[in-house]
Amino acid sequence: MNKEYIIRNLKAILGRAYPRVIAANREYSWIIADIILPLLSVIAYGTLYKFLGASKDFLGFAVLGGAMSAFWLNVLWDMASQLYWEKMSGNLQLYILSPISLVSILLGMSIGGMLATSLRAAATLIVGTFIFKLDFSLINITQLLLVFFLTLAALYGLGMMLASLYLIWGREAWHLSEFFQEPVYLVSGMYFPVKFLGKVGFFSSLIPLTVGLDGLRQLLFKEGATFGFLSVNIEILILIILTVIYALLAIYYLKKMEYLARKEGKLTIRWE
Amino acid sequence: MDDSISIKTENLGRIYKKEGGVLEALKNININVNRGEIFGLLGPNGAGKTTLIKILTTLLLPSSGKAYVLGYDVETETLKIREKINMVSGGEWAGYGILTVRENLWMFSQFYGIPTKKAKREIDKYLEIFGLEEDANTKISKLSTGMRQKMNIIRGILSNPEVLFLDEPTLGLDVQIARTVRSFIKVWMKEKEGRTILLTTHYLNEADELCNRIAIIDNGEIHALDTPQGLKKILKNKIMYSVELERESYLNLKELPYTTKFTVNPLKDGKIEVKFQIQDENKIVDIFNYLKNNGFNLVSFRKREPTLEDVFIEIVGKEFKEDE
Ligand SMILES: Nc1ncnc2c1ncn2[C@@H]1O[C@H](COP(=O)(O)OP(=O)(O)OP(=O)(O)O)[C@@H](O)[C@H]1O
Ligand SMILES: [Mg+2]
């Protein structure tokens, strides 16, 4: 791997990230779907928590969950299905034809998606903080940043893996996304501490959002630790392991996808 | 491998699996394309043109035989090949609708590692050549087919490829734009020595106008390979006629005695044009009599020069049907 090849791939990552970021700035329809809808769920949970007399931090848990759910939706809908759309538009064959690794294309998509989604997540967080007058207490900034970025890394690693898998499996994989969306909200404790789910929490830790969210709550709210699922350091370890596993699987399936495309001649045909 | 050869195939074959068996899309293809050449693949729908291009552009693996581009094996040395080639297909819808023409071209240029400054300069240069400078900031979802295809061609040449693959580059374009594209292709070839184009087309005139050499391909096999002039020489001793006839609309001309390679094309006003070859000049009077007796009135007739279309009919044994 020479220097020229590496630079070319870095440029490719930026190139492919660009349309994602641009799309976030040029089209405003997302504001409704991506800020208002999570906020509605947050308000529903908030009302419930007030009614139950739960502490204010629970509102914070819900707002944080609402904000982070934007990343989950981005991964589930925009990342996982993206290669399929790229195939339909004919972009995929131009990507395979280019002297770069397909991993760079997916990395570009991820980084662009993360940036665009961060905007939405931040908006949800800010609006939620105002509405519910949340109190944050920063426990440990290093751990906080580590948990946040590892969560995104693992989450988008999962997205990259799903992208190739969806392409190999074809259209049926769509139903998988639909099937997963709501239950994942539940099992990953999007709006309440995952600790309440008991042993299910271990199973749902395969979804990086679960441990990530739990860690963030512990690091941002006074009562977070009380309701924490595992210790933050263990959660960081889990996130590192998940990131590595998903990244390796993503690379493996991308290679496999390209091989299948070239062998069977199926994956680069638009009208299929 | 000889440095003057840019594409070489050796007994190249490709099969596709299909229900109840396999389809042989390419059979024993042997071609050598020289550097500096525009090489045409001419053939009807399903002939195997796109399959061959996909193999040469590393998008598809051969089922048998070998293929080399610039001396590199298409199976194993994909990166080396991908660095030096590009491809544009007719009717391509690549890119992102939300981006402008200039942004899209920039994005694709990044996959070839072109420095942004240089890329922008080249993009503006080519936009101007194609008369697209006004649309540089138009979102590509708003482009017409013609504008879109011009943009696609610019995408293909931005990486300054040594070998450019054009899969029916003028498909579906109106006459004016198709002409612009063809003349640009010629200019681009002259701009720098050693460039190669492999082009597929349905359009016989296009192949005739652009290509140094043409391979006629049908059913996955190459039936002839020569210069356009060389191909037409195949018909040197044939006497060809083109006849215009008037007829009642219900009349169909199904056969014509004494002729071979007989084809009928409908014209305006219910007239028809009939083309055929004869071995014996003296029979032309008998043919005219036959037509008259069957209700066809002669409007005009001429002896004509062979076209690639005649060559195609001669070689493949059937009429060339364009995809419409
Ligand atoms: N992925 C595929 N799977 C199965 N059969 C295929 C596949 N791609 C092409 N074929 C078949 O292989 C044959 C050659 O197709 P190909 O696309 O190479 O022809 P072509 O000369 O490019 O035709 P056209 O002029 O329509 O573009 C056709 O019969 C086609 O149906
Ligand atoms: Mg084709």
Whether residue A271 is predicted with pLDDT greater than 60 in this model: the reply is no
Q: Please tell me the predicted confidence (pLDDT) of residue B321.
A: 60
Pocket probe mutation, ligand 1, options A87, A262, A266, max atoms within 8 Å of Cβ? A266
Give yes or no for a contact between B277 and B260, defined as CB atoms under 8 angstroms apart: yes
Residue B48, number of CB atoms within 10 A of its CB: 24
pLDDT at position A269, please? 52
- pLDDT score recorded for residue B323: 44
Closest chain A residue by Cα to residue B95: A91
pLDDT surpasses 70 at A30: no
> What would the mean pLDDT of A172-189 be, rounded to a whole number?
77
Residue ranges lining ligand 1, Cβ < 6 Å: A 265-266, 269; B 16, 18, 23, 25, 43, 45-51, 323
pLDDT tens column, B211-228: 999 999 999 999 999 999
Check whether A243 has a pLDDT greater than 90. Answer: yes
Q: Quick check: A11 and B110 CB within 8 A?
A: yes
- The better pLDDT of the pair A126, A191 is held by A126
* pLDDT in the model for residue A268: 57
The Cα B271–Cα B248 span in angstroms is 9
Give strand ranges (E) for chain B: 5-18, 21-29, 32-34, 38-42, 64-69, 72-73, 85-89, 163-167, 196-201, 213-218, 221-226, 239-246, 259-266, 272-278, 297-303
Pocket-testing residue among B51, B60, B219, B324, ligand 1, by greatest number of atoms within 8 A of Cβ: B51
> pLDDT-derived band of residue A204, with 50, 70 and 90 as boundaries?
confident
In the prediction, which pLDDT does A119 show? 86
Hey, of B72, B107, B117, B120, which one would you mutate to test binding to chain A, going by the most A CBs within 10 A of its CB? B107
Instruction: Please give the residue that has the higher pLDDT: either A99 or A120.
Output: A99
Q: Any alpha helices (H) in A1-55, and if so which ranges?
A: 3-26, 30-31, 37-52
Q: Is the pLDDT of residue A245 over 50?
A: yes
Residues of chain B with pLDDT under 50: 323-324
**Residue B174 in 3-state DSSP?**
coil
Type of residue numbered A63: V
The answer to whether residues A123 and A213 touch, using CB atoms and an 8 Å cutoff, is: no
**Residues present in chain B in total:** 324
What number is the ipTM of this complex? 0.89
Written as six digits, the tokens of A67 are 């904000």
What distance lies between CA B23 and its chain's CA centroid? 23
Residue percentage of chain A with pLDDT more than 90: 39
Res B303: pLDDT: 84
pTM of the model: 0.88
One-letter identity of residue A195: K
Restricting to B residues 55-74, those with a Cβ less than 8 Å away from any Cβ of A are 57-61
pLDDT score recorded for residue B84: 97
Domains of chain A by residue range: 3-264
Distance CA B26, CA B8 (A): 15
Predicted confidence (pLDDT) per residue in A73-104, tens digit: 889 888 888 888 898 889 999 999 999 999 99
pLDDT for the residue A259: 92
User: In this predicted structure, which of A32-36, A108-112, B139-143, B248-252 has the lowest mean pLDDT?
Assistant: A32-36
pLDDT of A267 > 70? The answer is no
